[in-house]
Structure formats: structure tokens, C-alpha cells
Amino acid sequence: MIVDGHLYFPIRSNPISELEYAVVYRDEVAADFYKLQACKDAVTEFHLCQPLQIKAGENFTWDGMLWKIDNVGQTSAYLSNTEGQTSQILLEDLHTYIHENKITGLPINLSEDLQSDAFQIISAAGPVAMQEAIARHEILQNSKNSSVSISTIKNYRKKFHEAERLYGNGLIGLFSQASKRGNRERKIDAEVVRLMEDAIDEYHLKPHKPKFMAAYGELINLCEENGLIAPSDKTFRAAINKRKAYDVVLAREGKRAAYEHETFYWRLDMNTPRHGERPFDIAHIDHTELDIQLSDRLFGIMYERPWLSIMIDAYSRKVLAFWISFNSPSYHSCMMLIKRCVQQFGRIPRTIVFDGGAEFDSVYLETLLSFLKVTKKSRAKSKARFGSVLERFFGTSNTQLIHNLSGNTQATKTPRTCVPSHDPKKLTAWTLQSFTQCFASWLTQVYESNPHKSLGCSPNQVFAISMRDFGMRLHKHITYNRGFELLCMPTTKNGVAKIHRVQGIYLNYQNYWCNEFTDPTLAEKKVPVRYDPDNAAYAYAYINGQWIECISEFAAVFKNRSVKQIELITQNLKAKNMLMGKKQKLTAHTMAAFLREASLSEELQRQIWRDQELLARANLESIPVHNIEQVSEIYDMDTTNDQDLQVYKDF
């Protein structure tokens, strides 16, 4: 209704995310009127009133009307107003109305300057000054029984009446003014102060970090040259300490050392919210190398430590997407996170904060972000606080999951004490696929379901409640189709590939082909290419102004196999050929044969297991019923004859 103009909300001046305080108006005119009224109330809010005493002849205001106390009895008081009306009220009710500010003393019309002065005096008075003012007021109330001299009491009474006349409240005049005593002006000559500042800038705040006494000696020389008395080293050191620590460390040690002294803003203004105002408002992307060793038992390959790329919603702390691979972080990882976020939620955050490295800059990533209308922010270099949300998540994942799994690399952090029996490479039990499934289960069952310290509840609860309060925003839905997948595909290191009329293009250790390559004009030309990190069976080439899908020569073998897996197979084959002394050229044909051989051996092993299970089942079914109880008897390992045990030569 706000978008259609049926209602009005001043979105430029008020945060609509704070639902408890957001006020929606009928139209813009009503909003302006309310704003003026609020400003008027804010200006007239600080009005002083005369003290009200319950005695005959006292005037007061009650519900905007002027009343007067005519007589006060033991249980009630008699009142009259300017219109000649009289009323009787119980003293108990009168005290209640005064306590609730329904009945107040006569307002005092003060000028704005006096109101400002009175407010400054009250706000500048600390607890000690207020306690002293109360004690002086009690002295004025019981002046006859006080031990204070008569002249002091007269001075208190004079200040009390003067403040009552000026500010409408005599207690303001009883505040102590002891803090204003003495000569507050600086004793050092102004020219000496200027020389101290010059000496600090020219001789102390230097990159080579000169010593304090060297700068102080230069100050003494400057003072002698100008015929002035040099200040003490204590005074000069105090002048240096008055400078901001950030400026001093920045000049002497550089910006990285000065970063810890930089002012840390916990909460920014409404134009630059620190953690967003709703889900899918701001998201952070960061990468870390996981403390776990992975392997592939089928090929006997010991992989390197994997990299985790994460996209986390800054408002709800919910993980929107993650990507685990052996590739170093780059714009490839960022594009895969965006792809998975759209694939799961059908939406993408309005603003995404990336790392500031050059490896995250790519024309394809910029095109994807522009297509999705996403604002890209780069995290400041060498400033860890900008990624504090993700750093906490990485620490939580280590302590709750990774450091509790077999094959974690905690022992390698102290290599001198790490023995072979505790080497993570020998204790590894996780593959890339199994660890990815384990990490996904931990996210849904543990991290996103347990209360978060900074949220007060779980990320799933915050995300669900916020989506209900702020709306699903169906107009922001992104369709996940083949065209969107093309936008999420990265390119190679060179970005281009040469077209061969017969073999097509050579990309990631294999050839790709499409019918457009038969055009003679395209022979030996270099065209931009893109590939799918999840599926090496297809690639794309930019031909004649459009992206054309190319199929691998072994699409059936390489389908759904990642490029990194093919690279690992390539490394294995190179090592094997080197040991055998062969100079065999690595092609897609040799890799496909290797994959078929691996699949065949895997299938053969499964068949052996099936045959053994069928044989054991047949033996069990052939045993007579009356002998089952005897056969199923449990043998003691100490009394069992080794010759009675079956020997499986396959193992």
C-alpha cells in the first residue's frame, strides 16, 4: 500500500525495519503536520514550574485550568477556579494528582537562553554536587537548628532566591561552583606551545621511530634559538600523549599497526547499517582453509586441505550457501556461492561484501552481479574487524565440528611434537563427498538450530520471523534455469581457447566440440570460453556473438565429474608414467580409460561382496532346523581351533 500511494511513510528519515517505532501516515501532509507538532512538543517539553505547596492562597493548574486553594482542612481541601466554580477534594487524592503531575504549579515562561542555562547547570552537576545542594537546602529549611554560620545561611538564601527568580527553581543556585575555582589558563607561553607541536610533528612522528629524548633535545634547541625557556620533559611527554594514539602509531609504525587503535563503530547510522536491516539485505563472503585432511580411498590419493567458501546473512547469521573444494579462493568460488544461493532460496542478497584481493575481480563476476542488481562491497585490506561475523563462524565450525573429526590437522601446528602415529595423513577417514555431507548436516542440525549468542535465539528462528515480518518479496524471485547457470560459469586462466577444425577446443585436459566449429572462417581463432565447475561434460564458447554449448568427446564418462577431480586423475597418471619410464601424452582418452578401469574395479569389488553374501545365505539355509541352535553357539576365542576357521583368500 505504501508503494501504491495509499499510505505514506518517510523512508528517507525513519527506519522502517524498527517495527515498534515505525509510524505510517495517511498522506504526506499528515506526516508533515505530525512532524511539526512533535518538534513543538520537543521545544516546549522543558518548562519549569513553581513549587506547589498545599496551603490557602496557593495557585496551580489542573487540566489546563487555573485553580486556587481557598482552605485546607484535616482531610480535604476547598478549591475555586477563575470562573467562580468551587470544588472539594480529599487531601489524599490531591497528593496523588500532584505525584502524577496532573496538578502542577504555575508554569514559568523562561526565555530559551535561560532554559538552556538551567539545563546545562543541572546536567553538569554530578552526584556529589547534587548531594551538596540537597544538604544546603536542608540547612535553609532548618536554619535555626543548624550549626552553620549566619553569613553562610544568608549566602545560601540569596543564591536560592536569585535562582528561583531566574530559572524558576532555587535548588539550581545551591549547586557548588568549586570546580570553577583557580586560574584555568595555561602557564606556558603560547610560542613555546607552538614549538612543542612543531617538534612533535617534525622530530617525533617519523617512520624511523626516533627516541623521545632525541625529539626533546631538538625542542630545547628550538627554544634556545628563540630565546624562550624550554618546558620540562614531563610537559613535552604530556603533549605527545594528548595526541590521538591512532595518529601517533600511524606516523611511526604504519596503518597496519595503527589499525588496533582505530575507533571501532559498533553501530553505524541508518544509511550504512552494519549488519543489515532484514534478511537478504547484506551478506558476507569469505574463505578459509579447513583444518582437516581429506583423501580418496578408491584412487589412493592424499589430497591437500580443502577450502571452505561461505556466504552468511549478516542479519540472521544464517548460512545462505557454502562451497567446499580444493581450489584456492577466487572469483570462481564467489560465483558458485551465488549459484547455490539462488538455487536454494530463489533470491540473492541486496549487498554482498567480498574480499579485497585482485583474484576476486573478474568481468564475469561483475556481469553476474549487475544482472542480479547486487551491490558489491570490498572488505578493507588488513582490517580484520570487517569480517568479524565470518571469523566467529569459522571459529565455531572448528571447535564444534572439524577439530572433533578424524584427520584434523591440530597436531601439525606443533610439528616438533607430532609423531607418525598421530599424523593426520594416516588418520584421515573422510572424502570430499562424505565431508561435504557431514558439514551440511552440522549446519542444519547444530549451528542453525542452536541459540546464537549475539541473537538470543537460533539463526533459523530469526530468519523465519524476519521473513514473516518483512515479507517474502516475491518480486525479487530469480528463476534458476540454464541461462542463469551460464552466467555463473567461470573461465580459464587465459580466458580463451583456439578452435581446431577437427578436434574443436582444448579445455581442461579434454576436447569439446560443436557444429559451429565446421565453419572454415573460425579455424585457428581464439574465442572466449566458459566451463561448469560441477560438470566437466559441457563447456561454452563465444561464437558469432552468442555462447554456444560444446560437448566433451567423452561426455558420458566425464558427466557430473568436477574439473578438480580430472586434474587429480591427471596428476596421478603423470606420476605413474614417470615411474614406468614412459612418455605417454595425457589426453581425454587416457583419462577416460582410467575412469573406466576404476569403475570396473569398484564394480568387481561390489560383485565379490555380493557373491560372499549369497554364499553365506545359502549355507545358512542348508543347515537343519534342529542344528541351528548348536551352530549359533558362541565360541570362546581361547578354545577355538585355528584349523576350524574359514580362510578368505580374497582379502
pLDDT at residue 236, rounded to an integer: 92
> Which of 558, 502, 556 has its CA nearest to residue 531?
558
Q: How buried is 75 (Cβ within 10 angstroms: 0-12 exposed, 13-18 middle, 19+ buried)?
A: exposed
Q: Is 44 exposed, middle or buried (0-12, 13-18, 19+ CB in 10 A)?
A: exposed
What is the model's pLDDT at position 115?
A: 55
- Amino acid 455 reads L
Residue of higher predicted confidence among 622 and 90? 90
d(CA 254, CA 249): 7
Q: What is the pTM of this model?
A: 0.52
Confidence band (pLDDT; 50, 70, 90) for 297? low
**pLDDT, tens digit (0-9, with 9 covering 90-100), for 338-392:** 998 998 888 899 888 887 766 677 787 888 888 888 888 877 665 555 555 667 7
pLDDT > 90 in the chain, percent: 10
Q: pLDDT-based confidence at 143, cuts 50/70/90?
A: confident
Amino acid 45: pLDDT = 41
Domains and CATH numbers, the chain: 59-104 (no CATH), 112-179 (no CATH), 190-261 (1.10.10.60), 282-482 (3.30.420.10), 492-571 (no CATH)
The lowest-confidence range among 158-172, 186-200, 242-256, 493-507 is 158-172
What's the pLDDT score for residue 270? 34
> Counting Cβ atoms within 10 Å, is residue 349 exposed (0-12), middle (13-18) or buried (19+)?
buried
pLDDT band at residue 48 using 50, 70 and 90 as cut-offs: low
CB atoms under 10 Å from CB of 210, counted, come to 14
Q: What is the mean pLDDT of residues 112-121?
A: 62
**Sign (positive or negative) of CA dihedral 66, 71, 72, 73:** negative
- Mean pLDDT confidence for 93-117: 71
Question: Using alpha carbons only, what angle is made at residue 219 by residues 216 and 224, rounded to the nearest 5 degrees?
Answer: 130
Q: What is the rounded (10 degree) CA torsion for 291, 536, 487, 381? A: 30
298-342: pLDDT as tens digits: 555 666 788 899 999 888 888 999 988 877 888 888 888 999 899
Q: What is the DSSP letter of 312?
A: E
pLDDT at 322: 92
For residue 437, name the pLDDT band (cuts at 50, 70, 90).
Answer: confident
What's residue 269's pLDDT?
37
> CA-CA distances (angstroms) from residue 624 to 143, 245, 614, 634?
117, 91, 18, 18
Query: Could you give the CA distance from residue 157 to residue 165 in angstroms, rounded to a whole number?
Result: 12
Cα-only R_g, the chain: 41
Phi-psi region of 48 (alpha: psi -120 to 50; beta: other; left: phi over 0): beta
CA distances (Å), origin 123, targets 118, 126, 166, 351: 9, 8, 17, 42
Does residue 35 surpass a pLDDT of 90? no
| pLDDT tier at 535, thresholds 50, 70, 90 | confident
Dihedral, CA atoms, 189, 191, 196, 200, nearest 10 degrees?
A: 160
**Residue 539, helix vs strand vs coil:** strand
Provide the residue type at 556 as one letter.
Answer: A
pLDDT confidence band for 223 (50 / 70 / 90): very high
Coil, strand or helix at 478: coil
**What is the reported pLDDT for 385?**
52
Residues 6 or more apart in contact with residue 354 via CB below 8 angstroms? 285, 334, 360, 376, 377, 378, 379
pLDDT at 610 over 70: no
pLDDT band at 185 (very low <50, low <70, confident <90, very high): confident
Bigger pLDDT: 508 or 30?
508
Burial class (CB in 10 A: 0-12, 13-18, 19+), 486: middle
C-alpha cell at 381: 585490506
- pLDDT tier for residue 609 given thresholds of 50, 70 and 90: low
DSSP 8-state class, residue 232? P
Q: Please, which pLDDT band fits residue 219 given cuts at 50, 70 and 90?
A: very high
Residue bearing the bigger pLDDT, 146 or 561? 146
Q: How far apart are CA 67 and CA 84, in angstroms?
A: 10
- The band of 66, judged by pLDDT with boundaries at 50, 70 and 90, is confident
Which secondary structure element, helix H or strand E, spans residue 218, and what is its range?
helix 212-225
Of residues 361 and 438, more confidence is placed in 438
Helix (H), strand (E), coil (C) string for 364-414? HHHHHHHHHCCEEEECCCCCHHHHHHHHHHHHHHHHHCHHHCCCECCHHHC
Neighbouring CB atoms inside 10 A of 193's CB total 14
Asked if pLDDT for residue 473 goes beyond 70, the answer is yes
pLDDT band at 477 (very low <50, low <70, confident <90, very high): confident
Is residue 563 over pLDDT 50? yes
Tens of pLDDT, residues 148-174: 888 988 898 888 888 877 776 777 788
Give the pairing type, strands 103-104 and 301-302. Answer: unpaired
Across 425-451, average pLDDT: 83
Cβ neighbours of residue 406 closer than 8 Å, sequence gap 6 or more: 427, 428, 429, 430
Higher pLDDT, 128 or 561: 128
Highest mean pLDDT among 174-188, 498-512, 586-600: 498-512
* DSSP per-residue letters across 543-592: ETTEEEEEEETTHHHHTT--HHHHHHHHHHHHHHHHHHT--PPP-HHHHH
Report the distance separating Cα 157 and Cα 155, nearest Å: 5
Give the Cα separation of 151 and 154 in Å (integer).
Answer: 5
Mean pLDDT over each residue of the chain, to the nearest integer: 75
- Highest average pLDDT, of 11-25, 108-122, 596-610, comes from 11-25
